Structure 1
């Protein structure tokens, strides 16, 4: 017998995220009438475990997938225990369909499919980017913001229109987070807890601003040339041959400071242009790089000049997590969306604007 999910006073979803090096499983509760201001959202659990590779290296898909397979069962048990819910209370299993790294995505999709079959639950495939946006909106209360989505795999400026999240600008090559991660390898900066976080802490001690390419092309950005140049500078630094504009000594902290200031200025520029285009005075920053306090500070200064404000979440929700997949999946499920088992695939390329956002009016 089919149950009308919208008639249930309590809807619960379990979300599974594993598109990169973070495995996250979360349980979320929706109460009240779906799609109305009366709908209340409660995070019941949000468990995460990160695959950390040695300094100077990145995380390979096969190693990351092995990590996710190794930790999935224990994280699922921890998430259920922390949420204090039974399997019978769960309405659907949500998983990241894409975008992301192929092998990690596949390992988590198979695990989510297994849970759906074992427990007799509906399955919901979720766009990773939409998960970030909807979690950010739910946590911050931002109504109609321009969204800056910045992470290791994505850099996009997004605004909602006519049941789609429209992409106004994006990277033309590598993501800003990938640029930061690869720069961290050049200086053998630790990947624990994350290379971007460690760059941020080092940048706070930097004082010398060096010259880097500034690559804004209309509404889009390019980071590959910047990365090439800063890697060359890192090699010169190791040889003791890198000097500042006045011939002064340059440190690794100065390089971190220079890179952050340059790429974040580019992101602020294209975000401001999108705000002017759509007539919004709200900016919502989502994705792992969105945790960066300097990015939030620079974006806040721009937004205040426009009479607006910036919304951002802390590391519990801006870094990849299972609860964002559970929340976005449950929003879709409440509109009647389901992913048949035979279609429960995943894909490395899944555009943000491909998703029909039926839950927003």
Structure 2
């Protein structure tokens, strides 16, 4: 059985998960929350991650009931994401890998989301509607790469919700999107968003070739 510990810190949330052959053993997280109407700056977010990452690492090991010797591989989010938080988490992941004598694997943020969903749903070869903070894309796996077949031409859905929340000063706790959803459930009038999608055939996802098995096994 393969045990992988993964470090994610591409935006305002930092999390460290431990997985054993597809089973999630632990997944503690911390979120950097700013006052309503304010976004989060990269430098402030990185400072938050530095302050909590070792505590989260300890929690991940304790919740999984494992020791460093039980870990087979260390993975971390290589990008895309916010530069300063990514660097902060990458440095800790690399240090941990060296101290523990474990192989290190950098994972593309978008592919990590897709593979996580594919693993949970047991989908074999899905066409994916990928919706996150900075990306809204239609993606499929072709010729050993994930290819983007369509994407928003202006702003991703996640960023759209974040900006909307800032303008009307909705709380960021636990997240803007969640709070907007709860408010929408109480409403009766809906406004259609002026959204445009363009096609981009066979565009490789970040020119980041990676075999699916590498994300699950080291």
- Asked if these proteins are the same fold (TM beyond 0.5), I'd say yes
Q: Structure 2 regions of 5+ residues with no counterpart? A: none
Distance 2:155 2:209 in 1: 23
Return closer, same or farther for 1:112/1:147 CA change in 2, 3 Å cut-off.
Answer: same
Query: Match for 2:13 among 12, 22, 33?
Result: 22
- Is 2:140–2:147's contact at 8 Å kept on the other side of the alignment? yes
* 3-state SS of paired residue (1:356): coil
| Alignment partner of 1:207 is 2:188 | yes
Hey, what does 1:354 align to over in structure 2? Answer: 208
Gap change, CA 1:212 and 1:26, over 3 Å in 2: closer
Q: CA deviation at 1:120?
A: 1.3
Runs of 4+ that moved beyond 4 A:
none
Distance in 2 of aligned mates of 1:60 and 1:12: 34
TM-score under structure 2 length normalisation: 0.91
Structure 1 residue 175 corresponds to structure 2 residue 120? no
Aligned residues: 212
Tell me: CA distance 1:211–1:197, structure 2 relative to 1, closer, same or farther (3 Å).
closer
Residues 167 and 353 in structure 1, CA contact (< 8 A), matched pair in contact too: no
Higher strand share: 2
Report if the CA contact (8 A) 2:153-2:196 is conserved: no
SS at match of 1:354: coil
The 5 Å alignment of 1:7-156 reads 10-30=1-21, 41-156=22-137
The 1:203/1:119 distance shift into structure 2, 3 A limit, reads: same
Unaligned runs of 5+ in 1: 1-9, 31-40, 221-273, 275-349
Q: 1:190 to 1:91 in 2, by over 3 A?
A: same
CA pair 86-55 structure 1, distance change in 2 beyond 3 A: same
- Cα distance, 1:42 vs structure 2: 1.4
Measured on the aligned residues, the alpha-carbon RMSD in Å equals 1.9
**Shift in Å, 1:162:** 1.9
Task: Give distance in 2, aligned partners of 1:214 and 1:79.
Answer: 40
Tell me: CA distance 1:82–1:94, structure 2 relative to 1, closer, same or farther (3 Å). same
Over alpha carbons, which structure has the higher Rg?
1
Local SS of the residue matching 1:203: helix
SS at match of 2:106: strand
Q: d(CA) in 2 for partners of 1:210 and 1:11?
A: 48
Q: Which has the higher helix share?
A: 1
Give matches, 1:149-298, under 5 Å: 149-210=130-191, 212-217=193-198, 219=199
- Structure 1 Cα separation of the partners of residues 169 and 64 of structure 2: 39
